[in-house]
Chains A and B, each alone.
Chain A
């Protein structure tokens, strides 16, 4: 099973709402990622979890709050977002450093299309 599952597929929220994006993988991967992608642009890294600990935060605003409840799950909690936060949010996973440098192949979910009104 090489699948990363993201829910929901689409989300529309107001600027005062609180919502969460969810990501799940059952490949035994120990590194998980959140990316933000605008149209016709490459994915921009937001957060990296390695062995369930936050290892990289790319100076993301605090209105985005990641959580890794266990090695298979990754959440992104959203609060007080701005219209410019509308984007495709992608989750990915990889074996992590224990798999060796050459094993940093990332498996992506299909994404959550987020619209902030």
Chain B
């Protein structure tokens, strides 16, 4: 079953603009990850934020986590056409073994 819901489902921006997408989840988590998927390809891990962290940066990516609201956001700054992809959050609840539960995804289109 799907743990996370992502918002918006789709996003269209111009190159150079920032893209923000949100993820909400239902249960407690050990950590939250974000993945990118280019069309018809496999997923690529972008960033992991632990449940005791509030913000994390990696290059042009900034992730926040609010465990009290059970939500996370992913910000891509100065977007490029190559950032066009679907972005998924994935949660790792306690006692779930190796299982990740993916959100519904946000499809991002960056127009040149």
Query: Which of A's residues lie within 8 Å of B, judged by CB?
Result: 4, 6, 31, 33, 40-43, 45, 48, 50, 55-56, 88, 90, 92, 94, 96-97, 101-102, 104-111, 113
Contact = CB atoms under 8 A, between A and B. Distances in A.
A67 B48 CA distance: 30
A42 B41 contact: no
Contacts, number: 70
Leading 3 A-B pairs by shortest Cβ distance: A108-B42, A42-B102, A108-B43
Interface residues of B, number: 26
Interface of B: 2, 30-31, 33, 35, 40-45, 48, 50, 88, 90, 92, 97-105, 107
A50 B98 contact: yes
B44 to A, nearest CB: 7
B21 to A, nearest CB: 13
Contact of B104 (A42, A45, A97, A111): A42
Contact of B98 (A40, A41, A88, A96): A96
B44 A108 contact: yes
Contacts of A55: 97-98
A4 B103 CA distance: 23
